[in-house]
Structure 1
């Protein structure tokens, strides 16, 4: 979890649990600090998340935003003074169902709003389901009218079923008798009038037989009306005992781990080093014959981010437009998909094309005849996987040719044969008389390059113009564990390349310690898959994480970690035809669609250059050899994909080989489902 300063000036991560800390005492202290009671004459209102987040369909989000705003508005004392309120919005949870054929099975639900209130020494809890039905009694822009009485009645019935499910689970948490109605329930209709007409067209109160259940537009359209309703209804009951109040507040605080992770992820700014900043702001190819910019960097040093920022700088300075286009090239489809989404978000996608290169065919850019002012080749080291000098030469020659044609203004220019220079020094390749050349960058991941770059590779890739040695993605806890993998030079590299890499100098690019690393040991050494499934269910069912926050990366891929196998085991825990986490293996499809119940299962190289809020790294017995350089680098690539939480699932022997400083925390969550 995370503490967020009220003024958003600082962000600190709360320490994780271990066996020596009583979780109840810890949560009490956390709540006292984060949600203090109202001072005399003032109201204290807290919301989790702190700002409204749109979710679901547009009209449903609009309705929920009205309720969110009204609850936040309770902070302004009018009728009420000394009121303390904490409310949770869109908290996901799972509980066991005890109806019909579902006995003992999990079902995942999502609360619209859960409201905790303390007033005049009494405690209150209310659940609110929000419906966006609109009957058109007032003019509301962008909201569709629903006049069908049957649809309205079905929405009412649906909300009642949802509230019943919520109450069933919470009564189980508190060990309450089903007849004890100490938790209030309401259905809120921000766009629906409290008045309707009977078959004879007489105006009457809507659903007057259970009017206390419903909160209509007249009470939600105005803050004073809502505050009055809140006082007359929620605060007029007998309330709930302090013990139950604290138990459920603790539960929803833990359930909001997913919300806190969202805020951590958004608040993590990718800081650039001074060297990177100079590379972005300075012109690096302003004269002919200077040659390409070759950038070396370890995993997580921000190479792809650097390209994105450079494109943004070119766009803002007027050097990237329809007449000065750019081409971004990479090898893995996932990183291409991610880059396309970011370019679209920044509004540059219409001026930047993307393409993949291949290691088994030489027809690179065969269907693309465009000329480019700027070209950026990411993952350049992967071209050497071809082990075919002809393919390597043809691909690289095509890049030089398109770059030349996009920059040289001389008609019928017969430029030097680029292929002749590719395996030598290319300083003199671009000799055309041009005022200003665009950017030509080749980015090399030294983790991968150390394994195969010296073979069949152009000389230019071995001579970096700049070496990025500050790790930007990984935060302190992760980096401090895995930095050991750079303490010794990587094998089989020429002395000239080792000197340029400065592997022993790799360090943190910022001072953020970041999220902790948790370790969980398989309950049975022979069944790691079962533990992985339980971790995913625990994250999504009891901690409020969305499945698409999670990526599982097995050290070695086998039949146990294909989506079909994982999904079958997950299905054994849940009710049929209900919402449940679902593993997918297609990286591009996952990134493009971001279905709410999908989580990704992918091997390490497939997610190269990508990042995920939560990474579950799975290493089975005998998979990992701490003395093997390739194994060490692979574990770092896997670990450096996460931004907010890393979970290692492995036997203790592997954990001890990796965690030399003994800083990993034991996984504190409940896996007994």
Structure 2
């Protein structure tokens, strides 16, 4: 229902919509700097582009047919899905959506403005020869001929299916009309059909004569003769939609397309800010809609591609679908305490923490899940690559044995019901920082590779693109990563350039410590940056970056017992206390999965070697924590080695301190 509220943003209360993007503020409200209309238009162009030339462009959301519990219904919808996906008409652009649930108010006399939930079987958007079409389709699985594995339907079942489909189409049109608040009658612009892929167009009358079925309904019904071959379906599509179908006003078409983009590709991230919306890439949508098979799903992605966000979203989706509850629990596993703390807070904000246990795994001691006798329907192992930090194969083996044991305890009846989700997520950047000598081969063969960076701004991406493009794990040569062979590198998933990257010469003051403190105090005292929006990431943590050393230097510039920024190294304490004057100075791997508005990256000449691939990957991990502003504190030599295209600009403000 909350996505339905956002889907109506284009005509009602647009000031209530907030879009999650890495920008100056944590979110963008309608009318404040970024048009949500424009961003979704850009999103459509990126995710569903027109193929150059006079070729056919067909896109489907999700990419695979949604699985239905009833076998015959599943076969019918999958058959229609494949027919749509195989459309091949020069110059045609199609995006079709399957199984989109939504809600709205019904104003029919007996319903009195009450809410009604509906799910479309298919909504098809087409653009062809300058005309736009929107087609609503209900699919029925009734069968009137002998087919392998199918139940033949009797006359009463067929009649009931017809009546049901007609009511469903009427409800869809009514809710669309109400939700988009158009003054014109939308029904005159929509195409509505009932698809019967297993039902003949001919039937018998009471005198046993063969007659056409339901002639009185015109062309509402599409029977199995139109689905027999791809060529026949293409011909039907051309005749009944592109040539003779109702055309839609381009403004109305645009409104409805954006509405279904939000409903199908948008997710609420209320744990970041109430009412905030994020638009997912198609690879992310595809991951969320994958049907579990009882086998592990291995997900690789570079830092900032949204692995943890998708995990939280999947848990929310399971809860909304009735698959996450007290008798169908989930387990979230990670290594670093910071990300565990962050995920716990997000689950609490979503109201599902009581059904999700969280656990850290170990790399140097036994006892993972010791004493835990629970079975888990769903298990997510985030940061799976961190297991490679362990030097004992026994500990690694025991960890995975425990995970599979608890998963099978939660899924005891193979084949009796759909299995639960089992995800292993691997950060390919951090996996490449250490040789995963003893790690299971299962982690080295990804099923999904996430390639769109959602966290960094465009400016940060342009400067560090050379680092973004190179991360590939150093798995043993014996393991063939065929999934990576056609990988063209990763790209940025949004259209936000963001503020510039500022550079401060670390030699501009007496010491690197003083230069760093000068930047912190200037940001917090004169630039309006809140201390707890700030993270200082040293490339190498030495004695100068201990919190007590930094805080003593800060205290030299403040009156006694005054409000002043204070460094904190413990990520959990920083996240849990949220004290307004604390800022974080951690070892970079401890902030895995977290993001900060402002990052100050401190690189010393002696620690950083641009020619070293591992050093470049570490820098990538550091910059991918940032959403709004990046400050590079380094020597001019380091800055020049990184800034090949002269994009980084000098810090434009005074750093003189009393």
Structure 2 length-normalised TM? 0.57
Q: Does 1:567 align with 2:551?
A: yes
Give the CA deviation at 1:400: 0.2
- 2:432 and 2:614 in contact (8 A); partners too: no
The reply to whether residue 274 of structure 1 matches residue 282 of structure 2 is yes
Question: Structure 2 matches for 1:393-472, cutoff 5 A?
Answer: 393-409=397-413, 432-452=414-434, 454-472=436-454
Partner of 1:509: 493
Q: 1:454 to 1:266 in 2, by over 3 A?
A: same
Listed one character per residue, the Cα deviations across residues 145-169 of structure 1 (whole Å, up to 9, x for unaligned) are xxxxxxxxxxxxxxxxxxxxxxxxx
Structure 1: how far apart are the matches of 2:401 and 2:415?
Answer: 20
- Note the aligned Cα RMSD (angstroms): 2.3
Structure 1 residue 499, shift from structure 2 partner: 3.8
Residue in structure 1 matching 2:634, options 650, 654, 664: 650
| SS of the residue 2:429 aligns to | helix
Decide whether aligned partners of structure 1 residues 453 and 380 sit closer, same or farther in structure 2, where only a CA change above 3 A counts: farther
Residues 509 and 515 in structure 2, CA contact (< 8 A), matched pair in contact too: no
Offset, 1:523: 4.4
* Corresponding position of 1:663: 647
Describe the SS at the equivalent of 2:432: helix
CA–CA separation in structure 2 for the residues paired with 1:632 and 1:503: 20
Task: Show the 5 A alignment for 1:73-88.
Answer: none
Partner residue, 1:541: 525
Q: Which residue of 2 aligns with 1:283?
A: 291
Question: Secondary structure of the equivalent of 2:442?
Answer: helix
The residue number in structure 1 matching 2:506 is: 522
Mapped to 2, the partners of 1:625 and 1:573 lie a distance apart of 34
Between 489-498 and 615-624, report the one with greater CA deviation: 489-498
The CA deviation at 1:265 is 9.0
Shift of 1:2: 5.4
Q: Is structure 2 residue 597 aligned with structure 1 residue 630?
A: no
Q: How many angstroms apart in 2 are the aligned matches of 1:634 and 1:554?
A: 11
Alignment check: 8 A CA contact 1:386 1:392 kept: yes
Matched, 1:7 2:31: yes
1:361 matched to 2:365? The reply is: yes
Q: What is the CA distance between 1:668 and its match in structure 2?
A: 1.5
Alignment of 1:235-246 (within 5 A): none
Q: Does 1:582 pair with 2:586?
A: no
Q: Distance in 2 between matches of 1:536 and 1:268?
A: 29
Q: How far has the Cα of 1:500 moved from its partner?
A: 2.2
Corresponding residue for 2:575? 591
Q: Write the mapping of 1:464-503 to structure 2, written as runs, cut at 5 A.
A: 464-488=446-470, 490=472, 492-494=474-476, 497-501=480-484
Shift of 1:492: 4.1
Q: Is the 8 A contact 2:435 2:474 kept in 1?
A: no
Given candidates 325, 329, 335, the residue that maps to 1:325 is: 329
What residue in structure 2 maps to residue 151 of structure 1?
Answer: none
Q: Is the 8 A contact 1:270 1:473 kept in 2?
A: no
Question: In 2 relative to 1, CA 503–446 (structure 1 residues): closer, same or farther, beyond 3 Å?
Answer: farther
Cα distance in 1 for residues equivalent to 2:365 and 2:29:
54
Q: Secondary structure at the match of 2:279?
A: coil
- Contact between 1:265 and 1:643, CA under 8 Å: does it hold in 2? no
SS in 1 for 2:656: coil
Report the CA distance between 1:541 and its aligned residue: 0.8
Going from structure 1 to structure 2, the CA distance change for 1:488 and 1:606 (only over 3 Å counts) comes to: closer
TM-score, normalised by the number of residues in structure 1? 0.56
The answer (yes or no) to whether the contact 1:522–1:651 under 8 Å persists in 2 is yes
SS of 1:505 mapped into structure 2: coil
Match of 1:122 in 2: none
CA distance in 2, matches of 1:489, 1:296: 11
- Cα-to-partner distance string for 1:372-423 (whole Å, 9 max, x where unaligned): 00000000011121121111110100000000000114xxxxxxxxxxxxxx
Cα deviation for residue 498 of structure 1 reads: 4.6
**C-alpha distance 555-489 of structure 1, shift in aligned 2 (>3 A):** closer
Structure 2 unmatched ranges of 5 or more: 1-22, 37-271
Q: What is the CA deviation profile of residues 233-290 of structure 1, one whole-angstrom value per residue up to 9, with x for unaligned ones?
A: xxxxxxxxxxxxxxxxxxxxxxxxxxxxxxx9999854321121122123222xx5xx
For the 8 Å contact 1:604–1:638, the answer to whether it is kept is: yes
